[in-house]
Amino acid sequence: GYAPGLPKRAALLDQTSARLLDEAGQELRRFDGLHPWFDPASGDRVALIDLGHLAPGEYSLNAGGESRRIRVERRPYSALTGALVKGLYYQRCGCALEAAHAGPYAHAACHTAPAKLYENPEVELDASGGWHDAGDYGRYVSPAAVTVGHLLYAYRWFPKAFQDALNIPESGNGLPDVLNECRFELEWLLKMQREDGALYHKLTKKRFAPFIMPEEDKAQEYLLPPTHTATAGYAACAALASRAYRPFDAAFSARLLESAVRAWAWLEQNPRFVPYENPEDVKTGAYGDTNCLDEAFWAASELYASTGEARYLDALTALCPRVELSKFGWREVGGLGALCCLFELDGRLDKAFADGLQGRFLLAADAALETARLSGYGTALSPDGYVWGSSLPILCNGMLLIAAWKRSGKTPYLDAALNQLDYLLGLNALDLSLVTGYGERPFRFPHHRPSASDGVEDPVPGLVSGGPNARNNYPSTRERLPKGTYPAKSYLDETPSADTNEIAIYWNSPAVFVAACFDQLTRENG
């Protein structure tokens, strides 16, 4: 759907004219003299048009003998925003999903047995809980911290988008359900912290489970050794969460802040960075990284915002010049530190430092804006950016553009950000919505073990596909795609295609942020 007060874009392929009709079939306006141009990411010749002001109602767009239905609604993003958050509820681990909340996607409790320390298997610990990370049943600290970070900033910036109850077990307890869902993950993250403050890197089997339901996955789980990136990302996430939960639960807020401070202390006591690598007999996702500078910058920023202590200010000031400030993914989190500095610490930083940080941030936003302008579909991703999980950089650029709009007030940033949400919902070279259950043509076969194993025809709703991937594909994917397939079309809506069609919690979370922005705008504008 489209909203009355926001741009309403449509992509026309190889067409020079189009007609917009109302519900009665009367012509409202014509688009003539269009000039489709070559889009290098998709190979399509595209004319991107704005349908202009339209009142709520049903319309049709006719071009080249085809007709597409256009629906304008006052709040087209409310159900979507809620579904993207509830998609994380369906990823819950260590508990049953009851039919009262999960409907046909209910299942018994899973992964409740104690985990063993990989380095000392005689030691067993309770590490149950949290969200399954992606299409598999592993749980990983760095992606978890970033996911919660995205969601908490979405809530802090766009609280009106989270007023609706989502029918999860905690609904109605006085907290917005997005905070209820984040708390489920935070409680697990607290279990992943050692007494000395370090965070175990991940909790997985030695190999991915076959395509079975989670409660059928009985293989032994292991806690893999702590890492700097997991510990720093958690310190940032927990410090941010301590502020978000303070108005609702002072004790939980204090617990989070204390654990964040302990995590930072471990980083100070262990300054030599050691990158994570899987042991030879562990084949699950590595989530490795080449440095910890960006995670430490984010952590120092959030800890300074939460404590006001000078040592964190000194650290964030020293780290900032060494960090890219426009990235919001699980590996590169400098953008989250920039959000903290620009908005949570506004007025509390040295003016010259803050101005320099803002200048770098807006320069990156301008680059994303230009990338979107050069794309036939308005997508803020260059042709060589379609890698595993290409939805992530597209949605993270949506976050970047929204933040630039909030900082500058310039509407071109906001309009381009909307185009990234439009991409997710079908304004793309695939002509597919990349959210299960939403849009007129949603993808249907995610690489997601419960969706493939539960006996339900439709996949679990509210999950975001990783999307087209033209680099480092599986051999089976290369065989299935025609030779010469363009990057933005390098996609298979097939369960085995993890390289193009897996889901992940940290793809849902930036989608929540972007959708919540436009949901709040439509709520405010009636």
Digit-coded pLDDT (tens) for 397-436: 999 999 999 999 999 999 999 999 999 999 999 999 999 9
**Is residue 526 predicted with pLDDT exceeding 90?**
no
Q: Where are the beta strands (DSSP E) in 335-481?
A: none
Collapsing DSSP states into helix, strand and coil, what is residue 10?
strand
* pTM beyond 0.75: yes
Do the Cβ atoms of 262 and 307 come closer than 8 Å? no
Average pLDDT over the chain reads: 97
**pLDDT in the model for residue 37:** 95
154 pLDDT more than 80: yes
Least confident residue range of 152-156, 452-456, 471-475, 485-489 = 471-475
Contacts for 503 with CB less than 8 Å, ≥ 6 apart: 87, 134, 135, 436, 446, 447, 448, 463, 464, 465, 466
Active site residues: 136, 447, 493, 502
Q: How far is CA 167 from CA 129, 163, 438, in A?
A: 19, 12, 18
Q: Whole-angstrom Cα distance, residue 348 to residue 514?
A: 27
pLDDT (average), residues 10-30:
97
Phi, psi of 20 (to 5 degrees): -105, 125
Number of CB atoms found within 10 A of residue 271's CB: 8
* Percentage with pLDDT > 70 across the chain: 100
* pLDDT above 70: residue 159: yes
Here the tokens at position 146 are 């970033």
